[in-house]
Chain A
Amino acid sequence: MADLGRAALVVSLGLLVYALVGGSVAAVTNRRRLAVSARNALFCAFGSTAIAATVLAVALVRHDFSFAYVATHTNRTLSTPYALSAFWGGQEGSLLLWLLVLTGYGALAVALNRTLLRDLTVWVVPVLAGIGTFFAFVLVAVASPFDTQTAPLDGAGLTPSLQNPYMVAHPPMLYLGYVGLAIPFAFAAGAMLSGRTDERWIVATRRWTLAAWMFLGFGQLLGAHWAYVEVGWGGYYAWDPVENAALMPWLAATAFLHSVMIQERKGMLKVWNMVLVALAFELSVFGTFLTRSGVVNSIHSFAKSPIGAWFLAFVVISSLFSLALILWRLPLLKARTKLESALSREAAFLYNNLLLVALCLTILWGVLFPIITQLVKGETRTIGRPYYDFFLRAFGLPLLLLMGIGPLIAWRKTSFRTLAKTLAWPGAVTIACGIALVAFGAGSSHPGLIAYTFSAFVLSTIVLELVRGTRATGSLVALVSRNRRRYGGYVVHAAIVLLAIGIAGSSAYSSSTIRKLSPGQSMTLSGYTLTLQDVVRRQVPNATETRAILAVKGRWNGRISSGDNQYVNPPEPSREVGLKTNWLRAEDLYVIADSVNLKTKTVYVKVLVKPLVNLIWVAGFVFVLGSLIALWPDAREQRRLVTRLAPARA
């Protein structure tokens, strides 16, 4: 069946090349039947890519080791969910997933807008087809998942650290986000190519952008949780280049989601929005390049291959294409109005944008620095955690403050007196919280104290907004349902506050200690006393488990075990941490047992107590809830759009 998969990919490539060339010719020469034909080619490309994906998925489930990809990434001991997750566990499968999601998203976005935005979609088709052509070409000519071999008795297996439920969901989530950013990019490019640079492309892609942003954000939190429970160093985000690769497009998309509101309301920032949407897309492709090329050292770079050069060429060409389009259409992208006051909602959005983009570019520089030093000086110099932590505080804390101030400022302009009056209650709550936090000892970390007080400020402004809005409209439900975007956004703000509290708590106020223990010996940290009871080793299918068993007394009483697994196939180790969540105290007891000596029964035990870390995971669900509220279709808005956009209909 590998031949069927290969043939389906070749058909996809042919269809996408046709959609690119035919669609461009149709748009330039204004030919209707050719445009419809090119659109159909895009739809069919999704169908043939889905066939290729089905062939690979069936081969993975059936352990068909005649597929080199299946033999390299699975073995017979893998359960069906993990065997399926190997689809995105390797490079070729990941690229196929990229193409599948891209053609699926593209076909759906074009189908939904083909009537109402016909003048735009005629250009969107070749843009999407151009992106798809690149991925289909790489899959056909450079990194095919359908290479065959004489089937071995068993496969090499999936990397142990990837055999985790979070890793089943994390990569597809990220891909849904990465690839989703191609849709607003394609519509923005379509708007510029067609010369229709009004707000219709933003309205048409608003939910696509939001959905992509939600998947990207939630996917990163799933990845952070995977790192926390599986990688086992006690943290959840290490500023690894590949982790940063997912964060950067998310930051750019966050800036875009805010700035489009100004364009919709005021007709401003048109060029800036085009730049942001292009930046978000290019960073998403750059992220795939970083993950898959092996150009940077990362625990997440699971593969090194020749596709890096192809990806780099694609990023450069598509960036130049975007830049040329923006420069060409500059006269059409002039703002209709000007910023009336530096103290207005739109100005607050602008400050927010500058901070988000500054943070994004700072991280990009941190990622690029080792590559540049390697190219220029021939030696790799990496940028460490202190660099990223500094800029996270420098840009992140003002962003947190702005998140509270922004919603309280009126559009157009506000006077200082009115703003001061509006800020009175949230300001009082913030000061009271700050004093209470210092009284409870939170002053030991200044960044932590600032993050907590700013978080209290943001939460109090959200509550104030809801109270005032409910008073004005008479009902909270009516308030939210009439402007889901705004109030969904506030729920997302609340999620970011939870995230900030979780990050501040687990980093600024965490405690740790390490000791070599023999059976019967104890160690104490933050009210927990851990006593080593035994060190054991046992055989399980495909692995040897070594565990240190510790009795815990104090804030929590029970037993906890930690150690490592040595897998047979693939022959790789995996650290297994001991983790106990104390929900009452909102903290985690995190135990890492290392250098276990079975003869002397000694073990090095590292214990960490991480306050409020679980708020980070809770924030993920609140984030999704807020995003869904903002995403939820609004019947009135839909009716208005259908009628508004109807003139473009035949």
Chain B
Amino acid sequence: MTVLAVVLGVVVAAGAVLLVAWPFLREPVAADDRLDAPSEGEAHWLELLDERDRVLGALKELEFDHRTGKIGDDDYGSQIGPLRRSAAAALRAIDGYRARMSAPEIPDLPTEPGPPPDEGTPPTPAPVPEPYPPPDEADIPAPAPQE
């Protein structure tokens, strides 16, 4: 074994040990050593957002499929209503959750950005009357951050 190899080997091993031990060297006594996994509240918030995105995504897909002729007017008419109601329910659930934000266990929640990427917003809205047309998701009010 060459001297260089020995030196390099020792340097590699020492460097690795230092990096691996670094979290303990930096914080020999941690005030809080628990993993910060999402709380129940955060998990529920994620579920609500997932549901909203899924329904709004399905609405946009339906609009796009209708405009490109993949779905007929009859099918479109029968599907758009339930989807819009689901979207409205998802948005109401988010609003309801936001209203309960004063609860101490609710963590910081971020502002939601625009819709998921897709073929874009339809140039002309579909002519199907519905009692609860969903608001633009960009207008969804974000929960206030916890103090």
Which residue in chain B gives the minimum CB-CB distance to A474?
A: B123
Task: Name the contact of B75 in the complex, choosing from A266, A418, A471, A649 (C-beta under 8 A).
Answer: A418
Interface flags, A264-275, vs B, CB<8A=1, else 0: 011100000000
Task: Name the contact of A410 in the complex, choosing from B62, B112, B114 (C-beta under 8 A).
Answer: B62
Q: Does A559 contact B (CB under 8 A)?
A: no
On whether A468 and B69 interact (CB within 8 A), knowing A44-B19, A265-B54, the answer reads yes
Q: Does B102 contact A (CB under 8 A)?
A: no
Interface flags, A1-32, vs B, CB<8A=1, else 0: 10110011001000100100000001100111
On whether A636 and B33 interact (CB within 8 A), knowing A41-B20, A411-B65, the answer reads no
Shortest distance in angstroms between B28's beta carbon and chain A's nearest beta carbon? 10
On whether A32 and B49 interact (CB within 8 A), knowing A265-B57, A410-B71, A422-B70, the answer reads no
Residues in B neighbouring A210, C-beta threshold 8 A = none
With A and B bound together, what is the CA distance between A271 and B126 in angstroms?
36
Q: Does B110 contact A (CB under 8 A)?
A: yes
With A and B bound together, what is the CA distance between A36 and B67 in angstroms?
50
Interface flags, B83-96, vs A, CB<8A=1, else 0: 00000000000000
Task: Name the contact of B24 in the complex, choosing from A1, A33, A44, A47 (C-beta under 8 A).
Answer: A33
Residues in B neighbouring A27, C-beta threshold 8 A = 35
Q: Does B58 contact A (CB under 8 A)?
A: yes
Residues in A neighbouring B112, C-beta threshold 8 A = 643-644
Shortest distance in angstroms between A94's beta carbon and chain B's nearest beta carbon? 23
Residues in A neighbouring B103, C-beta threshold 8 A = none
Is there an interface contact between B12 and A412, defined as CB atoms closer than 8 Å?
A: no
With A and B bound together, what is the CA distance between A649 and B145 in angstroms?
14
Q: Does A478 contact B (CB under 8 A)?
A: yes
Which residue in chain B gives the minimum CB-CB distance to A475?
A: B120
With A and B bound together, what is the CA distance between A18 and B20 in angstroms?
9
B69-123 interface with A by 8 A CB criterion: 69-72, 74-75, 79, 107-114, 116-120, 123
Residues in A neighbouring B49, C-beta threshold 8 A = 644
With A and B bound together, what is the CA distance between A387 and B37 in angstroms?
51
Is there an interface contact between B120 and A37, defined as CB atoms closer than 8 Å?
A: no
Interface flags, B24-53, vs A, CB<8A=1, else 0: 100100101111111000110111011000
Shortest distance in angstroms between B36's beta carbon and chain A's nearest beta carbon? 4
On whether A647 and B119 interact (CB within 8 A), knowing A15-B16, A417-B72, the answer reads no
Residues in B neighbouring A478, C-beta threshold 8 A = 120
With A and B bound together, what is the CA distance between A118 and B24 in angstroms?
19
With A and B bound together, what is the CA distance between A532 and B33 in angstroms?
81
Is there an interface contact between A415 and B113, defined as CB atoms closer than 8 Å?
A: no
With A and B bound together, what is the CA distance between A636 and B117 in angstroms?
7
Residues in A neighbouring B54, C-beta threshold 8 A = 265-267
Is there an interface contact between B70 and A30, defined as CB atoms closer than 8 Å?
A: no
Is there an interface contact between B119 and A31, defined as CB atoms closer than 8 Å?
A: no
On whether A265 and B12 interact (CB within 8 A), knowing A479-B119, A643-B112, A644-B49, the answer reads no
Interface flags, A451-488, vs B, CB<8A=1, else 0: 00000000000000100110111100011001100000
Task: Name the contact of A33 in the complex, choosing from B16, B23, B114, B123 (C-beta under 8 A).
Answer: B23
Is there an interface contact between A413 and B35, defined as CB atoms closer than 8 Å?
A: no
Task: Name the contact of B68 in the complex, choosing from A415, A469, A650 (C-beta under 8 A).
Answer: A469
B121-147 interface with A by 8 A CB criterion: 123
Is there an interface contact between A637 and B117, defined as CB atoms closer than 8 Å?
A: yes
Is there an interface contact between B22 and A35, defined as CB atoms closer than 8 Å?
A: no
Shortest distance in angstroms between B25's beta carbon and chain A's nearest beta carbon? 10
Is there an interface contact between A33 and B30, defined as CB atoms closer than 8 Å?
A: yes
Q: Does A648 contact B (CB under 8 A)?
A: yes
Task: Name the contact of B35 in the complex, choosing from A31, A465, A483, A634 (C-beta under 8 A).
Answer: A31
Task: Name the contact of A650 in the complex, choosing from B36, B43, B109 (C-beta under 8 A).
Answer: B36
Residues in B neighbouring A31, C-beta threshold 8 A = 33-35
Interface flags, A199-234, vs B, CB<8A=1, else 0: 110000000000000000000000000000000000
Shortest distance in angstroms between B70's beta carbon and chain A's nearest beta carbon? 4
Q: How many residues of B contact A (CB 8 A)?
A: 63
Residues in A neighbouring B119, C-beta threshold 8 A = 469, 472-473, 479, 482-483
Q: Does A259 contact B (CB under 8 A)?
A: no
Residues in A neighbouring B30, C-beta threshold 8 A = 32-33
Is there an interface contact between B19 and A40, defined as CB atoms closer than 8 Å?
A: yes
Which residue in chain B gives the minimum CB-CB distance to A645?
A: B46
Shortest distance in angstroms between A27's beta carbon and chain B's nearest beta carbon? 8
Residues in B neighbouring A87, C-beta threshold 8 A = none
Is there an interface contact between A414 and B114, defined as CB atoms closer than 8 Å?
A: no
With A and B bound together, what is the CA distance between A196 and B46 in angstroms?
11
Residues in A neighbouring B20, C-beta threshold 8 A = 15, 18, 37, 40-41, 44
With A and B bound together, what is the CA distance between A351 and B71 in angstroms?
20
Shortest distance in angstroms between A493's beta carbon and chain B's nearest beta carbon? 16
Residues in B neighbouring A473, C-beta threshold 8 A = 119-120
With A and B bound together, what is the CA distance between A468 and B45 in angstroms?
37
Q: Does A552 contact B (CB under 8 A)?
A: no
Task: Name the contact of A122 in the complex, choosing from B12, B19, B35, B107 (C-beta under 8 A).
Answer: B35
Which residue in chain A gives the minimum CB-CB distance to B28?
A: A33
Is there an interface contact between B71 and A418, defined as CB atoms closer than 8 Å?
A: yes
Is there an interface contact between A643 and B12, defined as CB atoms closer than 8 Å?
A: no
With A and B bound together, what is the CA distance between A500 and B46 in angstroms?
43
Is there an interface contact between B117 and A410, defined as CB atoms closer than 8 Å?
A: no
With A and B bound together, what is the CA distance between A26 and B24 in angstroms?
13
Is there an interface contact between B72 and A647, defined as CB atoms closer than 8 Å?
A: no
Q: Does A618 contact B (CB under 8 A)?
A: no
A471-512 interface with B by 8 A CB criterion: 471-474, 478-479, 482-483
Is there an interface contact between A634 and B22, defined as CB atoms closer than 8 Å?
A: no
Is there an interface contact between B117 and A483, defined as CB atoms closer than 8 Å?
A: yes
Is there an interface contact between B74 and A415, defined as CB atoms closer than 8 Å?
A: yes
With A and B bound together, what is the CA distance between A417 and B72 in angstroms?
8
Which residue in chain B gives the minimum CB-CB distance to A31?
A: B33
Residues in B neighbouring A472, C-beta threshold 8 A = 64, 67-68, 119
Is there an interface contact between B19 and A118, defined as CB atoms closer than 8 Å?
A: no
Residues in B neighbouring A418, C-beta threshold 8 A = 69-72, 75
Q: Does A377 contact B (CB under 8 A)?
A: no
With A and B bound together, what is the CA distance between A648 and B8 in angstroms?
40
With A and B bound together, what is the CA distance between A202 and B111 in angstroms?
23
A551-599 interface with B by 8 A CB criterion: none
Task: Name the contact of A48 in the complex, choosing from B12, B74, B118 (C-beta under 8 A).
Answer: B12
Q: Does A446 contact B (CB under 8 A)?
A: no
Could you jot down 10 A-B contacts, CB within 8 Å?
Answer: A3-B5, A15-B20, A31-B34, A37-B23, A410-B65, A411-B61, A469-B119, A482-B118, A647-B108, A648-B38
Chain A residues within 8 Å of B, Cβ to Cβ: 1, 3-4, 7-8, 11, 15, 18, 26-27, 30-37, 40-41, 43-44, 47-48, 51, 118-119, 122, 194, 196, 198-200, 265-267, 408-415, 417-418, 421-422, 465, 468-469, 471-474, 478-479, 482-483, 634, 636-637, 639-640, 643-644, 646-650
Minimum-distance CB pairs A-B, first 7:
A647-B42, A7-B9, A410-B65, A119-B37, A4-B5, A468-B68, A418-B72
New A-B contacts (13) at CB < 8 Å, excluding given A3-B1, A35-B35? A7-B13, A18-B20, A26-B35, A32-B34, A37-B21, A40-B20, A41-B19, A412-B79, A415-B72, A415-B74, A465-B68, A473-B120, A647-B110
